[in-house]
Amino acid sequence: MTFMTFRLDQFGLPLFRADSSRYDALGYWLISDVSIHKLVCLDALAMLADVSAGRDPFEPWSSDNYTVTFTPTGVSIRSNWSDESGEYGVDEVRQAVEEFWRFLVAQPDKPHMVREYHPELPDWQASLLRWEEKWSRRHPSRGTLFD
């Protein structure tokens, strides 16, 4: 059972519901900073895998909206525009980000959307290949979250 669920609003943008207000900063970060961008979600998943293995994230989180710090002991999320903030364990952030990834992948591809990168593949698979090409590494969630 997950502590956070997601759905789309009438404009096709993600919303979240969490079991506790303690997870508000995490939820708002996911729906606004990661948003519908699968490549950004893949970045977050890889950063979580890196810190879980005791390494620094492959790159610092970069955003105008949130300051996010990934360490082996936890993830700190702070809004750059409000007092919204939260400190979370790596496992609970991983659980939320994985659930968000599953939510994004479950959304149907837009049939009239023109994609230049592997248009023959579902969008999530093209995003994964594009991520791996960009960072010149196999995504650490291969074999667990996706094949």
- Concatenating the DSSP letter of every residue in 64-77 gives SSEEEEEETTEEEE
CA distance 101 to 37: 10
Give residue 101's pLDDT.
Answer: 97
Q: How confident is the model at residue 2 (pLDDT cuts 50, 70, 90)?
A: confident
| Mean pLDDT (whole number) for 30-41 | 95
Angle between helices 90-106 and 38-52 (to 10 degrees): 150
Q: What is the pTM of this model?
A: 0.93
Residue 21 C-alpha from the chain's centroid: 19
Residue 111: is its pLDDT beyond 90? no
9: its two tokens: 């609003």
Domain segments of the chain as ranges: 1-96
Residue 36: is its pLDDT beyond 80? yes
Greater model confidence, 95 or 108: 95
Give residue 118's pLDDT.
Answer: 82
| Mean pLDDT (whole number) for 128-146 | 93
Q: How confident is the model at residue 1 (pLDDT cuts 50, 70, 90)?
A: low
Greater model confidence, 121 or 74: 74
Given its phi and psi angles, is residue 12 left (phi above 0), alpha (psi -120 to 50 degrees) or beta?
Answer: left
CA distance 33 to 50: 20
